Amino acid sequence: MAKKLEDRNWKHEYELQKKRGDTEGQIERQRARRMYDQQGIDRAGKNIDHIKPLAKGGKSVPGNLRLRSPSANKADNKPKK
């Protein structure tokens, strides 16, 4: 029988991710996905956008996250010329 999301030991999961060599940014993005999933928010076809990017010190906290269409999210994340 598969474990339910709320039954998993997420702290242990993060430690395994670090041992595997996942970057802190990957771990933060996964944290954001789990937060939306635990709240029951349907994010199908949407990207989770960090208002203040992880690369600039942003975190995966509710006030820094929003759901956006992939095209809108990519348009904001284009490198500036």
pLDDT digits (tens, 9 = 90+) for 10-24: 778 778 877 877 777
Where residue 80 falls among pLDDT bands split at 50, 70, 90?
Answer: low
Q: CB under 8 Å to 63, separation ≥6 — which residues?
A: 51
pLDDT at 16: 80
Rounded mean pLDDT, 23-36: 80
pLDDT at 67: 92
Cβ atoms 31, 50 nearer than 8 A? no
Question: How far are the Cα atoms of 37, 54, 58, 80 from residue 50, in angstroms, in the given order?
Answer: 16, 7, 7, 18
On the question of pLDDT at 79 being above 70, the answer is no
